Each structure stands twice: as structure tokens, then as C-alpha cells.
Amino acid sequence: MTALASLGLALGQSAQEGTSLLGASGAVNIDFDLTFVGQMVVFAVLILVLKPLVFDPVLGLFAEREKRTDGAKAAAREMQEKAGVLLRKYEHELEKVHAVAAEERDRIRAETARLEAEQMHEARQIATKIIDEGRERINEEIHAVRFELGRSSERLARDIATRVLGREVS
């Protein structure tokens, strides 16, 4: 009979008789007989047998799981720190690249503006030269036309005078 079964029988009998486990003086009445000693021996033997077969391997399993969990957490923390360092390094390099790109962009813009200004200056010079040459040619043509007009006007005036007067005018 087990300890729980004997305790259950004792409680059941005391409930039927209407008495409690507590005596009149308030002390607990417990009988230490051979069944109690037998149960303690069985418990001790089970502890001795089950400890190396069940308890130690299960505790070892729990310890190994805890060790692996802690190791995985430490490895994850280390990887996260490395990732943070790499991210900061990447961002720093990216800032450098952006700065170099901005400098290059500004340099190219300045060079483009300079080239544009040079080309505009050259175009203005060429346009001014063409305009000046055109004006000079027009002035020459005006002068030639005036000269020719002057000669033609004298001849025309003599012809008109000769016809009007009826005689040759010199």
C-alpha cells in the first residue's frame, strides 16, 4: 500500500467517525509503522536508480540547451554589433561618395558654364564681325551707288538740259 492510499484511508475513517486528526491538545497523531519505512526505502532506491538514468541526462539536456541558447544569443549579439559597425562604415563611405559626386557635379557645372561663356563670347565676336563687315559692305555699296548716281545725275542733267535748250551744254 502506498503512502497516499494509507493517508486517504486514515482521512476517510476519521471523517466517518466524526473525529479529526487533531487531538484535544492540538497535536497531529502520525503512526510510523513499517509501511512508512518501506515507502521511504522504495523512494530512496528509485532516486538512486532514476538519478543516473533519467534525472542526470534530463538536467544535462537542459544545461546543454541553456548553453546553446546563451551561445546563440551571444553569437547573435556579436553579429548584430558587426552589422552595426558595417552599416556605420557603409553610411560613412556613402557620405564620402556623395561628397565626391557633389564636388564632381559642381566642377562639371562650372566647366560647362565656362565653356558656355567662351562659346557665347566667340559667337558674339563672330556676329559682331559679320555685322561690321556687312555694314562696311553696305557703306561701300552706298558710296559706289552715290558715286554712280552722281555721275549718272550729271549725264542725265546734261541730257535734260540739251533737250530743253535744244543745244548741247558743256
Q: What pLDDT, on the 0 to 100 scale, is given for residue 7?
A: 52
8 A C-beta contact, residue 35 and residue 1: yes
Residue 58 inside a domain? The answer is yes
Residue 154 inside a domain? The answer is no
Q: What pLDDT, on the 0 to 100 scale, is given for residue 153?
A: 85
Number of domains within the chain: 1
CA 26 to mean position of chain CA atoms: 76
Residue 19 inside a domain? The answer is no
**Residue 162 CB neighbour total at 10 angstroms:** 13
Judged by DSSP in three states, 64 sits in helix
Mean pLDDT by 10 residues, the chain (170 residues): 52 48 64 87 95 93 92 91 95 95 96 95 95 94 89 85 81
Q: What pLDDT, on the 0 to 100 scale, is given for residue 18?
A: 46
Whole-prediction pTM value? 0.41
Judged by DSSP in three states, 134 sits in helix
Residue range(s) defining the domain that contains residue 47: 34-131
